[in-house]
Amino acid sequence: MPTSLRIGPYRFYFYSYDCNEPKHVHIDRDNQSVKFWLDPVISLAHNHGYKRSELRKIEQLVYENLEQLNDAWDAFCGQ
């Protein structure tokens, strides 16, 4: 599972078996994890442990880095 981006305490990554799903990214910090769909719009897929205020911050980071995340997905999944 390659790390596509690190921002502060957050690690943004994909799983190799995720390539058959729509574009998305997993973001972890400590023992917390969240998954955001990237396409067609950024939206929360599921959350494990983050509080709502931190989810908003992470979602903003996804928006700010969307092009890089899409490029990393395409490079990793071969699209």
Q: What is the mean pLDDT of residues 31-60?
A: 97
Total Cβ atoms within 10 A of residue 71: 12
Number of folded domains in the chain?
1
Strand pairing category for 32-37 and 24-29: antiparallel
pLDDT above 80: residue 62: yes
Domain holding 26, by residue range, is 3-77
pTM summary value: 0.92
Binned at pLDDT 50, 70 and 90, residue 27 comes out as very high
Of residues 39, 41, 34, 45, the one with CA closest to residue 77: 39
